[in-house]
Amino acid sequence: MVLADLGRKINSAFTELTKAPVIDEKVLDSLVREICAALLASDVNVMLVQKLRANIKKNVNLEELANGANKKRMIEKAVMDELYNLVDPQVEPYKPVKRRANIFMMVGLQGAGKTTTCTKIASFYQRKGWKVALVCADTFRAGAFDQLKQNATKAKIPYYGSYSETDPVAIALEGVEKFKADKFEIIIVDTSGRHKQEVELFEEMKQISAAVKPDTTIFVMDGTIGQAAESQAMAFKEAADFGSIIMTKMDGHAKGGGAISAVAATHSPIIFIGTGEHLQDMERFEPRSFIRKVLGMHDMRDMIEQ
Amino acid sequence: LFSYFKSFTGQREMTAETLDPVMMTIKEHLITQNVATDIAEHLCQSVRTSLMGKKLGSFERISTAVRNSMETALKRILTPKTSLDILRDIEQAKSEKRPYTMCFIGVNGVGKSTNLSKVCFWLLQNNYKILIAACDTFRSGAVEQLRVHARNLRALQTSGSGIVELFERGYGKDSAGIAKDAINYAAVNQFDVVLVDTAGRMQDNEPLMRALSKLVSVNQPDKIIFVGEALVGNEAVDQLTKFNQALKDFSGLQNPRHIDGMILTKFDTIDDKVGAALSMTYITGQPIYFVGTGQTYTDLKNLKVSHVVHSLLKK
Ligand SMILES: Nc1nc2c(ncn2[C@@H]2O[C@H](COP(=O)(O)OP(=O)(O)OP(=O)(O)O)[C@@H](O)[C@H]2O)c(=O)[nH]1
Ligand SMILES: Nc1nc2c(ncn2[C@@H]2O[C@H](COP(=O)(O)OP(=O)(O)OP(=O)(O)O)[C@@H](O)[C@H]2O)c(=O)[nH]1
Ligand SMILES: [Mg+2]
Ligand SMILES: [Mg+2]
């Protein structure tokens, strides 16, 4: 499961806390150290972890708390609050509106899973009764249009693209205009992979965005990304002002901490996670229930909310 | 006065007390540079052990001693222990009158097909006759992607005797069988090299890992190249461990194969966070043959060990 290792480690740190006869600075320090080590092993950004460490220490005042049970609850609450803050930016993601065109634009690093995710989202909304179409504005990657076309065909979703046009801005605009005219409600624009170090690629992304005027831009991020996550995410946020994040490749073993760092850095929520290569392999993401799930669930929540 | 004097005469012994804070800082720094935490931990432990009880030299600072020792350790891990001369190996296969086969494996989207094409470009410049085997029969557009690359590469081939051809059998077929047919075709038609593209797969996906292991054991490629991206964090450890494990466990052979080396891609996207290079070499003990530094055919370079060590240690 997603972040399972992290959950296990944090839970065992809490168990240690429960076993400790007296809770003093030393016990607190060791708990915080364990949790921070677990976060680092899950690819959470080092600076974020340092901040989290400082916040927990700041918010737990052991001297003010006389009895042991109180101390434990206080510490657990401080930890949970910090974890919630990490994944929950408290920003509402864009909600598409019926009977008008809602333009989604997908952006992200090379190979993150944009094209695959496009069809997954399209299919998600189509199943819910929306009129959905796909536009391939990736004129760079070899086989990009074939990839989108084959996926769209399998999912029975109308698509637009070109083998000859080399200008992604022109293609994006043509496709969006065409589907708008045909009264499509959700039009998803797939773009090429890019990275912050290539200024021209970022410029191109801004131009596509200026042309199609997306209602929402979605940043697709690979769940296995490490410490480079934050700076890339920040750069995309600045250039494309994305509204939400989709974290991919969370099937298997990925820890997702890199993508989570992107949430904290850009104050944008994760809305879906990709859990496989097939059309249906996508789950909705809800930050708070996610953290509870990670931490071994109900008993933990009961402990904290009583 | 005495203690002041002593601390500068090089008689100080390094102890847990003096070493640990320095090790802590250096470990966190390695993690910031994207080294997997377990590996940063192991590395620091071994450096600590090697320094413990040693005397500091005159005017030497403890941080300098740790740094030097760490630098030596990093160099040792990153420096290839085997020859990286693929061209020589190809010549060897040629003299045996058989095509030389390289198989590109790895998780999804890391750059297998693109960097296979870059390797092809490099081999074309060396005047080889190359067959690309399209053995990703799953991902949409995978075959067309290689078709475009083969066409581009042919168009770039204006001089020299290099030749590239694509061997494809469409989608949904058994990739091990296609690779076999491709290698036979290459042998009959006197190709020098076969580059086998495979589908990306998650290291935990048992059916897909079994299929990969079968492809490898049936076709016995000369080189199994794991393609990993420099962006990957702690997951690098699990990926490499499990790919190697699967090649071994699912092979059904006495002498199973393992990863022979890596291509580290997207090196242009990570600034100085080069830790994945260390994680990957540490886990496999195998060399990084190339680094991918961009999306065009010429963006394939050799790893500069000194550059990586420098980036890992710089403040
Ligand atoms: N296992 C798994 N694979 C995924 C997931 N999402 C995407 N992939 C795979 O990741 C690889 C890259 O996906 P793409 O959709 O081509 O990525 P992209 O961001 O469009 O790539 P570029 O256009 O080249 O930047 C493909 O092999 C996909 O099948 C996921 O959630 N799980
Ligand atoms: N910036 C950068 N991008 C790269 C590099 N190598 C590959 N890419 C890009 O990464 C994306 C994925 O590359 P592919 O070659 O399709 O990856 P793959 O591993 O074959 O993907 P699957 O077959 O779907 O698993 C493409 O957009 C490539 O252009 C590199 O060295 N640097
Ligand atoms: Mg794409
Ligand atoms: Mg591929």
Give contacts of A 108-137 with B, CB under 8 A.
Answer: 109-113
Instruction: Walk along chain A (306 residues) and give the pLDDT tens digit of each residue.
Output: 456 677 788 888 888 888 888 888 888 999 999 999 999 999 999 999 999 999 999 988 877 776 667 788 888 888 888 888 888 899 999 999 999 999 999 999 999 999 999 999 999 999 999 999 999 999 999 999 999 999 999 999 999 999 999 999 999 999 999 999 999 999 999 999 999 999 999 999 999 999 999 999 999 999 999 999 999 999 999 999 999 999 999 997 877 899 889 999 999 999 999 999 999 999 998 877 777 766 655 444 444 443
Crossing angle for the helix pair A144-155 and A114-127, to the nearest 10 degrees: 20
Whether B310 contacts B70, CB under 8 Å: no
Supply B175's token pair: 């990739």
Q: Are B116 and B265 in contact (CB under 8 A)?
A: no
Which residue in A151, A242, A249 sits closest to A205, CA to CA?
A: A242
Residues B288, B263 contacting (CB under 8 angstroms): yes
- Residue B307 · residue B129 · CB < 8 Å: no
Q: B162: closest CA among B120, B125, B203, B211? A: B125
Nearest alpha-carbon partner for A279 in A70, A172, A132: A132
CB contact under 8 A, A277 and B139: yes
Q: Do B144 and A147 make contact, defined as CB atoms within 8 angstroms?
A: yes
Of A135, A269, A110, give the one whose Cα is nearest residue A214.
Answer: A135
Residue B7 has pLDDT above 60, yes or no: no
Ligand 2: which of A110, A195, A198, A225 to mutate, judged by most atoms within 8 Å of the beta carbon? Answer: A110
Quick one: tokens of B72?
Answer: 């030596």
Q: State whether residue A24 is helix, strand or coil.
A: coil
B58 touches B300 (CB < 8 A): no
Beta strand B129-135 with B193-198 is parallel
| CA–CA gap between residue B221 and residue B217 (Å, rounded) | 8
Q: How far is the CA of A44 from the centre of ligand 4 (A)?
A: 28
Residue B100's DSSP bridge partners are B193
The partner residues of A150 in beta bridges, in order of sequence, read: none
Q: Which of A16, A85, A92, A12 is nearest to A48 (CA)?
A: A85
The DSSP bridge partners found for residue B133 are B167, B196
In the prediction, which pLDDT does A22 show? 84
Can you tell me which atom of ligand 2 is nearest the CA of B300? 31
Distance of CA B155 to the CA centre of its chain: 29
Output the pLDDT for position A94: 97
Count other C-beta atoms under 10 Å from residue B100's C-beta. 25
Across the interface, of A42, A141, A147, the residue whose CB is closest to B234 is: A42
Report DSSP letters for A48-117, one per residue: HHHHHHHHHHHH--TTT--SHHHHHHHHHHHHHHHHHHHH----PPP---TTS-EEEEEEESTTSSHHHH
Of the candidates B123, B120, B130, the one whose C-alpha atom is nearest the C-alpha of residue B99 is: B130
Distance in Å, CA B145 to ligand 4 centroid = 8
Give me the sheet containing A270-274, strands edge to edge.
Answer: A159-160, A132-137, A186-191, A102-108, A216-222, A244-248, A270-274, A282-284
| Nearest-Cα residue of chain A relative to residue B113 | A142
Beta strands A282-284 and A216-222 are unpaired
How confident is the model at residue A4, as a pLDDT? 66
Across chain B, mean pLDDT equals 94
DSSP SS3 for B114: helix
What pLDDT is recorded for position B154? 97
Give the pLDDT confidence of B259-270 residue by residue, as tens digits. 999 999 999 999
- The residue ranges of DSSP E strands in A168-254, in sequence order, are 186-191, 216-222, 244-248
Once rounded to an integer, what is the mean pLDDT over residues B61-71? 93
3-class DSSP state of A160: strand
Neighbours of B269 (CB within 10 A): 25
The average pLDDT across B41-56 equals 94
User: Best mutation site among B105, B110, B112, B114 for ligand 2, i.e. most ligand atoms within 8 A of its Cβ?
Assistant: B114
DSSP B267: G
C-alpha dihedral (A178, A245, A110, B105), degrees to nearest 10: -120
The token pair at B309 is 């060590």
CA separation for the pair B253, B258 (Å, rounded): 12
Note whether B31 contacts A: Cβ–Cβ < 8 A. yes
B232 contacts A142? CB cut-off 8 A: no
Record the pTM.
0.95
Average confidence (pLDDT) over B173-195: 98
**Ligand closest to CA B267:** 2
pLDDT of amino acid A62: 79
- Least-confidence region, from B11-20, B24-33, B88-97: B11-20
CA distances (Å), origin B269, targets A27, A108, A197, A293, B292? 40, 12, 6, 33, 10
Q: Which residue of B38, B39, B144 is the best one to mutate when testing the A interface, meaning the one whose CB has the most A CBs within 10 A?
A: B144
Contact B141 A225 (CB under 8 A): no
Q: A89-115 burial, b for 16+ CB within 10 Å, e for fewer?
A: beeebeebeeeebbbbbbbbbbbbbbb
B307 CB-near residues (< 8 Å, 6+ apart): B274
* Residue-level pLDDT at A71: 81
A68 touches chain B (CB under 8 A): no
Residue bearing tokens 């434990």: A72
Q: Which two tokens stand for residue B234?
A: 């702690």
Query: Under a CB-based contact definition with an 8 Å cutoff, are residues A79 and A39 in contact?
Result: no
- Indicate if ipTM > 0.90: yes
Q: Averaged over B65-86, what is the pLDDT?
A: 95
Q: Determine which of A283-292, B15-24, B183-192 has the lowest per-residue pLDDT on average.
A: A283-292
Note the maximum CA span of chain B. Answer: 84
